[in-house]
Chain A
């Protein structure tokens, strides 16, 4: 018994001066007992229905949270994909382009075009170094540093070959020297850059497959929850109909068909909830009116 409520009923009974103190106290306790019972019974159906809606909301909230987590993971993976692989692939493309321009510059030097050749080579060297630095700063794959190191070494050999004077030397117009020295180091460097690009492309492809799975995992909780929520709603509707609507209809029908024969309503409500209380109260009312 809640002490405050007990005190309230005792005080109320003491206020009533028509009955003696002993019976007043007993009546108060009975009143309190009926009151608490009524409260428990009354709230039973209410809580059941409330819990149904709470569970439904909980289901949607959890699905929402999971989807948000999965979409965040997906977003991070997309960023990582761009950061990790795309930048290196772009840098590799720049390096290949620069290498080809340098190769063209060397050919111009062989033809004796000093100014034009050196200008092209210088610009290409600058853009190669810039791209190489970008690749060096973006080592994300296993053993990627070894790939970059190989590019650095082969490019150093290539650069050493064309840095020495060509115009007005025996190398000018010497195609054999070009084919054996310059072109070989050019091909080796290009091959190393391509290897770096392939490594990142393969990784990007694998990550794209994982992204597909991640997006699937982000979408599925939503789809599953929609179906589960629909099923749950059907179930909730069934229970509302079975435990709330049907008894009320039965009660209504019983009241409608009630004939005043000094007897209570004959209903078969088994649940201990608000409907049962309503039935009891109607029967009490019938008893009072019959007296």
Chain B
């Protein structure tokens, strides 16, 4: 293991943080806020510590698999650590644990918050919160890959470590092209949504912050009441459209935009994802209407926003879903577990895995009926090999097991069962809001510190898709 290489890449990640911290500092200076010095000092520290390894480490031509895992896992941990610096230095509601929770929630695009009064936060810090979403959405490592010189090997290794095997299935490009496509779609969507939200009546500051949070499928808002604050149908509609787009595989979006085959109109998986999403919307809207919560139009509007928000792992809110009927809450919990598509910015289980799981079950039933048959599992004319199929099934089992362990641990610290379960689901899936004490218009402030630490770990496990962390820990143990 060449630790100097790991340090060099961690340095580049810190430099990215320094850049966004500096922009937040400029906003703070412009608004004459108390967060200016904490942001400037955090940026300075990131710059110094990030720049130093570059003085020593010469350009490299290759990295090993274990070095790649180290860069990705420690990269995420260190970026979350520096992300909490401005919070902890500014103070207010940010204790050590709260700052860590908020930073992890930002970078992993979970969007759960410990803040009970977001609107009192300086604008510079609000921007930094949203920037953590934006950096984390595409993956901090992806930023590093984007600026790496033309060294194909390290780039490919890191790409393979950062994005799952499943995410790569819709790409038929080389590593460099995949990174460019991701960046193109990501930046493009952010710019377009910012302009649309601005035109729909948001201030430019709110528009850019909400665009960062939507495209990254994060969920941090600049308002205590989240999107409900604006009470504007156009804004809600724009956000819904962009939440859906951000939940779709970026490679398919790119192909659609450039008129290539293998686009979202041809993809069965996208069709299935959208159909299930719409069924969810209809069921929730119907129940809300029949229950007398709202009139028909409002029921549909609220159901559409909340189902899409949770189904894409964004976590914005227009209603307090904690007071909705239990049936609708169960539907929403399903979408919180299922999450959006692989290859998008969403976290959690991912719809592709659910799709492969259903196909695999179908295949097993067919095999029971026709034991001699040779049945290939296909998605969009691509054969899913058995290794990937087994990985998917293994991941689902591991995911549910992690969910169970997390819920049990939370109840050990006297968190109520429903809050513990919904908070675990919401954080492991990088969704954000849960139910009961941590509902869509609520926050995680009331939870004990240990519960916040457990939930932060859930967020990281969800973002790194569990396996990376296990491999990282096993590398340490076995010295691979």
Contacts and interface: CB of A to CB of B under 8 A. Distances in A.
Nearest to B38: A217
Contact of A55 (B4, B41, B48, B88): B48
A227 to B, nearest CB: 10
Contact of A239 (B4, B48, B49, B58): B4
Contact of A216 (B4, B41, B56, B91): B91
A270 B41 CA distance: 36
Contact of B88 (A224, A225, A239): A224
Contacts of A213: 34, 91-92
A26 interface: no
A278 interface: no
Interface string B1-34: 0011001000000000000000000000000001
Interface string B255-278: 000000000000000000000000
Nearest to B35: A217
Given A217-B90, A231-B49, A48 B56 contact: yes
A220 B52 contact: no
Interface string A242-262: 110000000000000000000
A221 B41 contact: yes
B342 interface: no
Most buried by A among B34, B52, B56: B56
Interface string A123-139: 00000000000000000
Nearest to B82: A228
A221 B88 CA distance: 10
Nearest to A214: B34
B37 interface: yes
Most buried by A among B4, B49, B52: B52
Interface string B81-106: 00001001111100000000000000
B89 A232 contact: no
Nearest to A244: B56
A62 B41 contact: yes
A187 interface: no
A52 B85 CA distance: 22
A271 B41 CA distance: 33
Contacts of B90: 217
Contacts, number: 67
Most buried by A among B37, B49, B51, B92: B37
Nearest to A225: B45
Interface of A is mostly: helix
Nearest to A45: B56
B56 A220 contact: no
A238 to B, nearest CB: 7
A62 B53 contact: no
A235 B88 CA distance: 23
A213 B90 CA distance: 8
Interface string A43-68: 00000100110010011001100100
A221 B89 contact: yes
B71 to A, nearest CB: 16
Interface in A101-115: none
A243 B4 CA distance: 10
A80 interface: no
A228 B49 contact: yes
A70 interface: yes
A166 B85 CA distance: 72
Most buried by A among B3, B4, B34, B48: B48
Interface residues of B, number: 23
A228 B45 contact: yes
B455 to A, nearest CB: 24
Interface in A262-287: 270-271
Nearest to B2: A242
Contacts of B3: 238, 242
B374 interface: no
Contacts of B37: 66, 69-70, 217, 221
A63 B34 contact: no
A239 B5 CA distance: 11
Contacts of B4: 238-239, 242
Contacts of B49: 228, 231-232, 235
A236 B53 CA distance: 9
Contacts of A70: 37
B53 A232 contact: no
A220 B92 contact: no
Given A48-B56, A238-B3, A220 B89 contact: yes
A51 B55 contact: yes
Nearest to A212: B91
A220 B45 CA distance: 13
B9 to A, nearest CB: 14
Contacts of A231: 49
Contacts of A58: 48
A242 B55 CA distance: 13
Contacts of A221: 37, 41, 89
Nearest to B94: A216
Contacts of B38: 217, 220
A231 B91 CA distance: 23
A235 B52 contact: yes
Nearest to B42: A224
Contacts of A228: 45, 49
Interface string A151-166: 0000000000000000
A58 B47 CA distance: 12
B289 interface: no
A220 B56 CA distance: 30
A52 B91 contact: no
B44 interface: yes
Contacts of A220: 38, 88-89, 91
A232 B415 CA distance: 39
Interface in A48-96: 48, 51-52, 55, 58-59, 62-63, 66, 69-70
Interface in A204-232: 213, 216-217, 220-221, 224-225, 228, 231-232
5 nearest interchain CB pairs?
Answer: A216-B91, A220-B89, A239-B56, A213-B91, A48-B55
11 contacts: A52-B52, A59-B44, A216-B91, A217-B34, A220-B89, A224-B45, A228-B45, A231-B49, A235-B52, A235-B53, A239-B52
Given A51-B55, A235-B7, 7 more contacts: A55-B51, A59-B44, A213-B34, A220-B38, A224-B45, A231-B49, A239-B53
